[in-house]
Amino acid sequence: ALTMAWRLVKALSEEQQRYEKQLIFEHPAFGKLCQQLLRDARRATRGDLVFSLHALVSLGVPQNTLLVQTLVRVCQEKLNQLDNRCISVLATTLAGMDKDKNVSALQAGLQLLVEQRISSIRDIFILQNLMKCLGKDAPVFLKKKLEMAVVRGIDGLTFPNALRMFLALAAMNYCSLPILNPCSKKIQEHVHDLPFRQLILILEACHTLQYRNVKLFSTLADYVNSTAYLWDKRQIILFLSTCETLGFQPTELLDVFAEKVTEDPDFLNLKNLLIVLRVYSRLNHVPRVQKHPFFETLHNCLNKCLPQISSTELLKAVYSLGILGYLPHHALDELLQKDSKGELTLSDDLKEQNTMMLHCVKTCMELDSPSFTKPAFVLTENLSSLVSLNLRKAQGALMELLGDESMFRQNVQLPYRYHIDFEIRMDSDRKKVLPIAAADDHPDSRVQRLAFLFAPVSAFCLGTTHPQGKLAMKKRHLNKLGYHVILIQNKMFQEMKNEDAVEFLKRKIYSEDALSFPEATMQDNN
């Protein structure tokens, strides 16, 4: 009877569920049914026992009631009598319960039972439930056993099971490529069957598992982009925010959403505005068309929020726009007034972050100002002749290519707290590398200065060489200081053979493309 009640309620909407549950709890027969179950708990069949506990927990009967605690203890006593289906239902039930003494004891017993029986379990659905119940605290050897059991039946994987398996692995915090890759492929094949909430859960699971599948992310983003007219703008914001957390840049969707914002900005309250600013700045995305109207729209929305915005939120908003090379003058004035009153660095837990953001904003105010001109001479300082371990290969390749250390500088500190890994000087025709000392002794504005930045993969958008916000801002500012910036993904460079690394740097140094000044920012609005 309890299971039937839950099945009927489960099919209803959330609001209807609340109403129906209340009716069930208030019905006189419900109290009698619970009393009878309490009396007969130890005589109940294993199926009745487990399914009754599942129904009571699902209906929202408080966990600390005598009935629920009694059923948990009886399940513990009869654990060895449960078949695989009952184990699966019990695992699902425990996954939704809070930890207490009896629940923890039952989970520990269930884990031991799973260890004994895992080789006999073939049902993928049951394995998923066990994975969710055992969770991230399960020992690694048991996670591996579950993985092997799933992989045995992976060929018959259905779309619903692929979806559930993603979430089960996330619950266990276990990144299994032999499972995730086939699941990912199945999800891509059925992407049009996914409701919006499932799209978000998949991306969140990938973030938990640190599973970076660009093809999967692109398929999901293309689907949302092609059906953007179906979604509420707040849903698209949530999707973009989840992509930003993964460092993934869904270029077309970002462009489409920018148009939507420009056409109808009224939905942008302060919370949504801050998310949009964070997403576009971190992913360093400037819309390909209508970029001026888009940033002007964000600027106007920010101005409307100024009366209600907190100091830290204002700093984050101006910082995000600054990263993109846009200076919101009115908001900047407000920010500088708050800074002069010491309102931006008062909180200890935010002090370091706020100080960093404020420094970046002030740097943008100076270097991105239309009145800033390239200096004839930049004061630099060599921090140390030693380079970090992850730059030794680059140092060796430059020495082999250029002859000796006098032809380049390493660990160079610049104004505005900027640092470059290596610097070389070239003649005006970009044909010849000049000794550093000679270039310093006889300054010449025609001398070309090259700055090498070896950045981690995390500084680029996923699967691309497109720099994320802070790195793009640094590159832009080094350009302003007169440097030609060569960005290199250090992981890719480290994987090269030594001779390939030398050839790679040679192409970068002598290539005209490498020495251009790309400006994908909003500086020209100022």
**Per-residue tokens: 60:** 């929202």
* Number of other residues whose CB lies within 10 A of the CB of residue 215: 11
Read off the DSSP letter of residue 218: H
- The whole-angstrom separation of Cα 463 and Cα 467 is 11
How far from 486 is each of 173, 323, 424, 475, 482, CA to CA, in Å?
37, 19, 11, 9, 13
- What is the 8-class DSSP label of residue 515? G
Report the C-alpha gap between 80 and 87 in whole angstroms.
Answer: 10
Task: Provide the Cα torsion 438, 440, 444, 449; round to 10°.
Answer: 100
Distance in angstroms (rounded) separating the CA atoms of residues 12 and 150: 32
pLDDT score at 439: 63
Q: Terminal CA-to-CA distance of the chain, rounded, Å? A: 70
- The widest CA-to-CA distance across the chain, in whole angstroms, is 98
Q: What is the pLDDT of residue 360?
A: 95
Return the CA Rg of the chain.
Answer: 30
Query: Which residues are CB-contacts of 352 (< 8 A; sequence separation ≥ 6)?
Result: none
How far is the C-alpha of 417 from the C-alpha of 35, rounded, in Å?
A: 72
d(CA 29, CA 32): 5
β-pair partners for 426: 433, 448
Which H or E run includes 409?
strand 409-413
What are the φ and ψ backbone dihedral angles of 382, each rounded to 5 degrees?
Answer: -85, 120
Residue with tokens 């506990």: 53
Is the CB of residue 247 less than 8 Å from the CB of residue 462? yes
Residue 454: strand pairing partners: 488
For residue 285, give both structure tokens: 């995305």
* One-letter amino acid for residue 126 of the chain: I
Tell me 424's DSSP state: E
Phi/psi-derived region of residue 411, left when phi > 0, alpha when psi is between -120 and 50, beta in every other case: left
Q: What is the pLDDT of residue 441?
A: 61
Residue 487 in 3-state DSSP? strand
**Nearest-angstrom CA–CA distance, 421 and 419:** 7
Three-state secondary-structure class, residue 216: helix
Closest Cα partner for 288 from 263, 244, 258?
Answer: 258
Encoded tokens for 342: 């010491």
Q: Do 403 and 452 contact (CB within 8 A), yes or no?
A: no
Which burial class, exposed, middle or buried, applies to 510 when counting CB atoms under 10 A from its CB (0-12, 13-18, 19+)? Answer: middle
Concatenated DSSP letters for 373-385? ---S----EE--S
State the pairing for strand pair 381-382/433-434: unpaired
pLDDT of residue 133: 85
> What amino acid occupies position 93?
T
DSSP one-letter code for 447: -
| Each residue's pLDDT expressed in tens, for the chain with a length of 526 residues | 688 888 888 878 888 888 888 888 888 888 898 999 999 989 989 999 999 999 999 988 999 999 999 999 999 999 999 999 999 999 989 988 998 999 999 999 999 999 888 888 888 888 988 898 888 888 999 999 999 999 988 888 899 999 999 999 999 999 999 999 999 999 999 999 999 999 999 999 999 999 999 999 999 999 999 998 889 999 999 999 999 999 999 999 999 999 999 999 999 999 999 999 999 999 999 998 888 999 999 999 999 999 999 989 999 999 999 999 999 999 999 999 888 877 776 666 778 888 899 999 999 999 999 888 888 778 787 766 677 888 999 999 999 999 888 899 999 999 999 999 999 998 888 888 888 887 666 667 778 899 999 999 999 999 999 999 999 999 999 999 999 999 999 999 999 999 999 999 999 998 755 444 444 445 443 3
Q: Record the pTM.
A: 0.87
SS3 18: helix
Residue 175, helix vs strand vs coil: coil
Angle subtended at Cα 25 by Cα 22 and Cα 31, rounded to the nearest 5 degrees: 170
